A and B are shown apart, each in its own frame.
Chain A
Amino acid sequence: MATKKLNNRKTLMAAAICSCISLTFTAPLSYAGPKEQAYRMHERLTGLPPESELDLNDMATRITAGDAQDVALDIMNGVYGSAAQEGFLGGTLKRMAAPWTNRDQDPFEPLNDYIATFIGVVNDEVDYREILRANMVYTHPAVTTPYATNSNAHYEAIEAQAQPLRDLQQVTQSSVSSLPAEATAGVMTTRAAAKAFFILGTNRAMLRFTLMSQMCRDLEQMEDPSGVPDRIRQDVSRSPGGDSQLFLTGCVGCHIGMDPLAQAFAYYNYQHNPDGDDTTDDRENGFLMYNTSPQPNPELGIDTRVQPKYHINANNFPYGYVTPDDQWDNYWREGTNEAIGWNWTGDAPNSGGNGAKTMGWELANSYAFAQCQVRKVFKSVCLRDPGDYDNGTTVDTSDSQKVAEITDNFRANGFNMKRVFAETADYCKGE
């Protein structure tokens, strides 16, 4: 026990002095030779220092030779040790993705199928756009607890057993769940995402949190009241608390674009016992449900594939939109959100379609989506948000130029996220 070896006085003393060891450096931080650069690249990609002087010197030599990005790729690929590779996969990537998978944006979220799929897509160098479209999920072949649609046990076992994440394998969602292949849409239809964003509510949360995590935009950046509000559902009060100014100057700006896009999720629901509270197993053991055929809707008096949650609180504004199907339209292609750079790749659908798969593809082919991945990697590797520096007389645009360059390269390299990490690590390795 600690009391045997370390009494309270010593503990306090240790605590008191720990902050006294201040940071002084032998050179300015902006200065870095190839060894310092190698050390920084390794530490920021993996969270760990290089394993040996041999590795460090090898990396430094290659950096001097102009191969910094290849060094970074080798670090991520385990050439400089499996610990470094696992540090990248289980530390850097998991830390990045965990907040995307819950409403509180909690980075301490346990491993789940959303996080694992992100890790797998990056590690396997899959076209990252598929993260919002593909019929895929990553599981671990060495874990005997199987993937389940109503449990996260498989992923908790991966962590509990400290299984190497480099061994994650891609399987189809439709093979491990009841989802038909056409209803799959990458991480949006993972169990973790469904549990977080299809639970209760109106399914708008799935769009909002996907925008935040994959487009680097919350609704406040998408707000545009000048659009056409003809797809805003009935449940949105046009006069909240009796004040329609709130709607006309606030709510409408987001719902104009959000509601017709979130219509893509009209057939999905996270099925659980709604009478359970947050701490019961009701929510924990729910599952993603998808209506493949019309179901009776007592409120409407018809059979429809649309989930009842799309028609709740209809009397808030009975003259509003009644969702008939899962046809989505991207109203944000017009107005100020034209700046998103829709269909930057030329591969996007024609601003409309049916279901989450095509809607995810619409998002994933925008410039903002690609740039967002670069920005997230930049923050993870450079430990700061990219941004230009205005000293009052001149503006240093290095960051924005580099982000634009890496974003262009992201497209040119088939949306390979590992290359983004490599290029970013190169940029932030120091001079």
Chain B
Amino acid sequence: MNQFAQYNVLRGLKLIALVSLSVGVLSGFTSCSSDSGGDNTQVLNPNGNNNGGSGGISYDGPAAASSDVTEFKVNLWDNIVADNRCGNCHKQDGPGTTWFVRDDNINTAYQAALTVVDLENPGDSLLVQRMASDHNCWDVPNVCADLMETWISNWANATEATTTVVTIDPVPAVLPGASLNFPPPVPAAFESNVYTPILREYCSRCHSEDGSERQQQPYFASGDVTTAYRAAQSKIDLNDASNSRLVYRLAVAPHTNCWDPNDAGGPVDCAANAVEMEAGIQAFIDSLGSPATVDPDELQVSGALAFPANPSQGQSANAAGRYESNIIAKYEFKQLDNTNPDRVVDTSGISPQLDLTRTGDARFVSSWGMEFFGPSGRAQGLTSNSRKLRDAISLTGEFAVEAWVIPANVTQDNVRRIISYSGGPSERNFTLGQTLYNYNTLLRTDSVDSNGNGSPLYSTPDGDDVLQASLQHVVVNFDATNGRQIWVNGELTTTDADVLANSSPSNWSDSHVLVLGNEVGGMDLDWKGTLRFVAIHNRVLTQEQILTNFSVGVGQKYYMPFNISSLVNIPEAYIVFEVERFDDYSYLFNDPFFTVLEEGVVISSDIDIQGMRIGINGREAPTGQAFAKMDVTITDADYQAAENNWLRLSTYGIPVTGTIIASEKVAPETDEFFLSFDRIGVRTSSVDRSTPDYPDVALPVYSYKQSEIGLKHFYEINEMFSSLTGVSKDNALVAGKFDTLKTQLPSSEDPVAFSTTQQMGITQLAAAYCEALTASTSLRTAFWPSLNFGQALNTQRNAVLDPMLEKFSSQTFMDTTTLATQPDPTDMAATVDTLLAELSTAANASETDSAALAVCTSVFASAVANVQ
């Protein structure tokens, strides 16, 4: 018996849901390969499954003695009675030890079957185990075992008297395995191999509090090596240097800040940088010596245990009771067939088996699912087997498509194909698709409003953002009464009437195929995301059934009991988490509870539990410690009051019930976990959790001198133009112009940001002000007091220039003052003088105002006016 094996009730450990069927244990089957047959002709249940496992055999023996016998017959017997399954050996007088498919008396077969099934935990049934060990399996062993479990589960779920019994198995207190850890003081090997030559050298412009480009946490390139060391710890994998985030960001997901590995100003080379980083980290790891085990005197830890490698090694925590009575195709993406890694098995148990084939940019994920990540990715069935969908749905005129979906993003549009039963981009029976935040459906019916492409589209409401890039339970129902309905996470999201109500899918094509993640053949309609589960039912799911299936969830969950007996001095005391693979990169730890696997235990003194953390592979996980602030006191009263003595810590109002912890090992290897506590019972950890001092808030350090000058911004420019010309900002010639142009003017003083667009904006505004200035006799006289507008401009250059020089040059206050930091007047005068000479109008007395306008504009729009 492994550590998760079923624990014997008679040994006094608890049953959690106490109603169960009597289940015996059978010694085993004998191998059998000979033929046997039956001549049954009577159908016991006309509504029985069309399962293909009866091999055309029908039953004409005594009637079922109870409803449970009927359910046995419908859900299991019909599926396995055929000679090519179990009938060859396990009928009456067959060579098999147990005649659980005898066809002369279904009641006797039922009694025999009870000895080879475990209705409380169908996966533990001997029938399932024998299939898994390749005992006359008609498919690959994993597929046979899975189907057998499904049939037994269906029987168990259909039997009212049966309620799932969940037990917690005792686990010995095993110390966590040895691991490498980051020593508290900064190791010299970190500084010499990682920090100085790489992090500080190449990353400090951003990943440092004094970064000159930006200050981007984490500051693993901080000017303070201790700060850098602390920040780098979550980015370094001591078990595998190549798996370090510092390497990953260079090798796999490179950002734009790689460097020339030769430091010669050459092209950047992220791959070479990754090699350099990995080598540096490896040298640091090598300096750490041998892995060390946790010191139980320093850190209070529970027993350690590994995450189950497969369901048979774990204690299932899956809630029972999915509603699947009318299922006709089901995909759990378990990658059951190790002889064909591309096979997606239909585990509905309904023949013909509509298996799909994975192709292109699609892959199985370890949490049970299939990720579609590129244009060629899809999983597609055969036309012949897909026909069962049309046949079964045509009979009922209704159906439900159910899926657990994780859209990769909310940006893909054009009805990207999630699940489609179609013949091409414009031919379909049904499609579930995605457009941005919406789920879409297309459906062919006999309605005049429907066509061969499934139009019209029926979707979740725009603006409700129903579709999220996270795990969602989606059900599309169709029946004649309601038309289509889209349910997401147990809620009906569609309220608009569907024009396809009062129609029938009786006209579905029998030449279409079921395809996931894409259109048939791949037609640029690929969907990016992950499917964790897909089922097709030939009846709609009721709201209650939808809620049931939603609440059951998806994927394999396990109870992981962490032994804390020695910490609280109570034998068989545990903190139990519900744990599952969350996705390829993490585990979900959820809903912890305290329990003691001895009946009648009294908690004689309160148990304080403070600062609980999850450890992985010998050390506390660096991220995700959602229970680290926990502070609860377990009392006997609470314990005794808890249902089944499972005292859920959520009872005490802890802020969250679940958290995710990053995985470290890749399947089939599994990670080992433990719990640690700052305080538990009377034991207190001696680990220093106080926050160390960090350097004060720093300013950037630049490798260049910053400019001492800057631009004037839009407001200042407008104010200055108005002030110096005397033209009001409300003047009709300039007010509208400023409103139009202001976003084209400089918005910041930074001279580096200056653009030609801004120059043109300034010029246009200057022209407007200068036009208003020259158009006003009083204003232009005030501005150019010595200028005679009846005389050619080039004959009175000083009269034009002097006011300009006074306003903008170093001779700003030219009576007695010169300002060294203002523009040189000689240079400025020469430039403007050149301009005057080039203006032909400047020699024409009738165009003096025009020439003055041009000079004014050029000066006001120039750097002398707009730089401060």
Interface residues of A (CB under 8 A from B): 2, 5-7, 10-11, 13-15, 17-27, 29-33, 35-36, 39-40, 43-44, 47-49, 52-53, 56-57, 83, 87, 90-91, 94-95, 107-108, 162, 220-226, 228-232, 237-245, 247-249, 252-253, 274-275, 313, 315-317, 319-321, 333-336, 338-341, 367-368, 371, 375, 379-380, 383-392, 395, 399-400, 403, 430
Contacts and interface: CB of A to CB of B under 8 A. Distances in A.
Ranked nearest first, the 3 interchain pairs of A and B with the lowest CB-CB distance are: A319-B658, A383-B710, A47-B716
Contact of B817 (A32, A53, A368): A53
Contacts of B626: 228-230
30 contacts: A2-B768, A5-B774, A18-B862, A25-B823, A29-B709, A39-B822, A53-B816, A107-B713, A107-B748, A108-B747, A220-B215, A229-B625, A229-B659, A230-B629, A230-B654, A274-B463, A315-B470, A317-B470, A319-B657, A336-B218, A340-B697, A341-B697, A379-B749, A383-B708, A383-B710, A384-B706, A385-B706, A388-B701, A389-B705, A390-B701
Contacts of B630: 230
B114 interface: no
A358 to B, nearest CB: 20
Given A108-B714, A223-B218, A371-B697, A14 B371 contact: no
B759 A25 contact: no
Which one of B227, B588, B656 has the highest number of Cβ atoms from chain A below 10 Å of its Cβ? Answer: B656
Contact of B472 (A30, A315, A389): A315
Contacts of A232: 656
Given A226-B623, A334-B691, A239 B586 contact: yes
Interface stretch (B46-54, B149-157, B640-648, B853-861): B853-861
**Interface size grouping (class) on chain B:** 35 or more
Nearest to B766: A18
Given A225-B234, A242-B529, A383-B868, A248 B703 contact: no
A121 B67 CA distance: 81
Contacts of B209: 339
Contacts of B760: 15
A244 B821 contact: no
A283 B36 CA distance: 78
Contact of B709 (A7, A19, A48, A383): A383
A313 B468 contact: yes
Interface in B575-634: 582-586, 588, 590-591, 622-630
Contacts of A13: 838-839, 854
B720 interface: yes
B360 interface: no
A339 B699 contact: no
Which one of A27, A243, A399 has the highest number of Cβ atoms from chain B below 10 Å of its Cβ? Answer: A243
A290 B472 CA distance: 32
B497 interface: no
A32 B821 contact: yes
A94 B715 contact: yes
Contact of B849 (A5, A24, A94, A315): A5
A5 B750 CA distance: 35
Contacts of B268: none
B137 interface: no
A202 to B, nearest CB: 12
A230 to B, nearest CB: 4
B723 interface: yes
A200 to B, nearest CB: 10
Interface string B554-592: 000000000000000000000000000011111010110
B835 interface: yes
Given A241-B408, A315-B472, 19 more contacts: A2-B767, A5-B853, A6-B853, A7-B850, A21-B828, A107-B747, A220-B214, A225-B623, A226-B623, A228-B626, A239-B406, A241-B406, A241-B469, A243-B585, A319-B591, A320-B658, A384-B708, A387-B701, A388-B701
B468 A237 contact: yes
Interface string B707-745: 111101111100110010000011000000000001100
Contacts of B489: 315
B699 A403 contact: yes
Interface in B13-41: none
A20 B835 CA distance: 10
A390 B212 CA distance: 10
Interface string B169-207: 000000000000000000000000000000000000000
B192 to A, nearest CB: 22
B824 interface: yes
B771 to A, nearest CB: 5
B140 interface: no
Contacts of A2: 767-768, 771
A319 B591 CA distance: 8
A22 B863 contact: yes
B530 A242 contact: yes
A320 B658 CA distance: 6
Contacts of B807: 49
Contacts of A226: 234, 622-623
A117 to B, nearest CB: 19
A237 B470 contact: yes
A90 B710 contact: no
B841 to A, nearest CB: 7
Contacts of B624: 229, 248, 252
Contact of A43 (B628, B698, B868): B868
A420 B537 CA distance: 71
Which one of B209, B529, B823 has the highest number of Cβ atoms from chain A below 10 Å of its Cβ? Answer: B823
Contact of A399 (B406, B662, B699): B699
B699 A243 contact: no
A264 B90 CA distance: 68
B370 to A, nearest CB: 10
B295 to A, nearest CB: 21
A244 B210 CA distance: 30
B652 interface: no
A241 B863 contact: no
Contacts of B369: 242
Given A31-B820, A317-B470, A231 B655 contact: yes
Given A26-B820, A240-B470, A95 B713 contact: yes
Nearest to A241: B408
